[in-house]
Amino acid sequence: MACVLMPIWLTPATADETIILSLEIAERLALQRHPILSQSQAEIEINRTRALSAGQLSDPQIRFGLQNFPIDSLALNRYEMSMVTLGITQMFPPLGKLGLIQKSAEQGTLAAQSKYRDTRARLRHEVHMAWLNVYYQERELATIRTNHELLDQIVQAARAQYRNGLAQEADVLKAQLERDDLLEREESIQATYRMAQSRLARLIGMPGTNLAATPELPAAPTVHTDNELINTLPQHPQVTTLDAQIRAAALDLATARRDYYPEFGIEAMYGYRTAHDANGAKVPDMISAGVVMSVPLWTARRQDARVQERQAQWLALRYQRDDLLLQMNAEAHARYAEYTHLVSRLKLLENTLLPQTEQTVNALLATYRTGKTDMASVLRARQINLDYTLRQWRLRTDLWIASAELNYLGTITTETSGHEH
């Protein structure tokens, strides 16, 4: 199978090629191709368009009719008061209501923009997790294959000792059993690896493509302390989305309170007459004008209920924001504690435990060749070394994941620029 490192604007030429992606390129592909960002941008446009029409006066009403027609002849010129009428009416809401509706719609646009920033940050985080999972599975497979070579050496040593009469046939069988067990373990990892590849391919918009991670683990994002994160959490896109929704709900509540005041309307009507007076002259046309006003009498069933609804909605959003900040504060403390714990564990493993197990395996294998130790001790030391090696890759990956999660919690919304930091 061919492996190629391809630029982000190319696609694999054949199905058996494997594209090797760096984390940076995988992230850029996801941000360019994933439909969830297009959906989020469409929601911004929906709210922006809605804000353009919000706060506008209602359409005027045109009236056309016939007035004072006699029912016996329906003649337009029989009576002086018979006329064809054409009128127009324009209603005006209570003072300030339109402005409140406009501002509420604008807050909806701001909420959609903050939601887009959070969606973008979440997508980046998901790509990080998917790429790191592929990376770890590849390192796990490489470690297993390296242990195949070590077990082959152990099997050869056991056979040599058995031929020389220095070991029993059981030693050979034990070593071969360990090697076969490692093959089964490799098949299980291969299945997990294929699932990790599929998830990464879906996120970057390249389904059905064989993907692999670059062998170098990139530098982890800058990690802030939990106290530093707590200071920035109120600027997180999730929180600023709720902030905009809370402001919109407060404006909706103020709008509902305006409904206690009556609406006013102005109407004008023109009446065209064709009748003539006693002297034979055409009677003049007529014009009428007036003011219309609503009378909000049943406030207990309409206005009061609407205000209570908006009040409850505003309070619910405020409580939701408080709960979100509590959750994010707790998560910041937990993630940072996990991060510091991973740092100390990885340092102990790389500086002490892993070098000791490697030395132990080499020493026991050399001793076994001289007949001074048994096969069980060699295999046990080999298993411990394998577990520590896999744990090293797991800790390195988990440390990067913890850094990425802390970095996501540190995402802030800049209202003026709209960038994430």
Does pLDDT of 8 surpass 60? no
Strand order in the sheet with 18-21: 3-4, 18-21, 210-213
What is d(CA 308, CA 286) in angstroms, rounded to the nearest whole number? 48
Tens digit of pLDDT for each residue in 270-296?
999 888 877 888 889 999 999 999 888
Tens digit of pLDDT for each residue in 98-144?
999 999 999 999 999 999 999 999 999 999 999 999 999 999 888 88
Does pLDDT of 157 surpass 80? no
Amino acid 7: pLDDT: 43
Backbone CA torsion sign across 46, 52, 56, 62: negative
**Nearest partner of 267 among 229, 293, 232, judged by Cα:** 293
What is d(CA 61, CA 406) in angstroms, rounded to the nearest whole number? 58
What is d(CA 251, CA 263) in angstroms, rounded to the nearest whole number? 19
What is d(CA 120, CA 126) in angstroms, rounded to the nearest whole number? 10
pLDDT, average across residues 183-209: 87
Q: Which of 128-137, 156-165, 275-284, 341-350 shows the lowest per-residue confidence on average (mean pLDDT)?
A: 156-165
Amino acid 297: pLDDT: 82
**Do 285 and 272 touch, CB atoms closer than 8 A?**
yes
| Helix ranges, 204-236 (H) | 226-232
Cα distances (angstroms) measured from residue 171 to each of 260, 360, 363: 93, 19, 18
Residue recorded with tokens 């850094």: 403
Amino acid 165: pLDDT: 67
Amino acid 275: pLDDT: 84
pLDDT band (50, 70, 90) for residue 53:
confident
- Residues contacting residue 338 through CB under 8 Å, at least 6 positions apart: 402
**Nearest partner of 147 among 178, 188, 190, judged by Cα:** 178
What is d(CA 98, CA 102) in angstroms, rounded to the nearest whole number? 6
DSSP state of 218: P
What is d(CA 322, CA 292) in angstroms, rounded to the nearest whole number? 46
Phi and psi dihedrals of 65, rounded to 5? -165, 175
**Nearest partner of 18 among 40, 1, 32, judged by Cα:** 1
Amino acid 149: pLDDT: 72
**Ranked by mean pLDDT, which of 43-52, 93-102, 312-321 comes out on top?**
312-321
Q: Which amino acid is at 402?
A: A
3-state secondary structure of 213: strand
Q: Are strands 210-213 and 18-21 parallel, antiparallel or unpaired?
A: parallel
% of the chain surpassing 90 pLDDT: 48
Strand partners for 265: 91, 292
Strand partners for 227: none
Amino acid 55: pLDDT: 83
Does pLDDT of 373 surpass 80? no
Q: Which amino acid is at 56?
A: Q
Phi and psi dihedrals of 389, rounded to 5? -65, -45
Rg of the chain on CA atoms, in Å: 38
* pTM score of the predicted model: 0.79
User: Who has greater pLDDT, 97 or 179?
Assistant: 97
pLDDT band (50, 70, 90) for residue 365:
confident
In 181-333 the beta strands, taken as DSSP E runs, fall at 210-213, 264-272, 286-293
309-337 core/surface letters (b: 16 or more CB in 10 A; e: else) = ebbebbeebbeebeebbeebeebbeebbe
Does pLDDT of 251 surpass 70? yes
pLDDT, average across residues 254-280: 90
DSSP state of 374: -
pLDDT band (50, 70, 90) for residue 412:
confident
**Nearest partner of 143 among 405, 360, 382, 408, judged by Cα:** 382
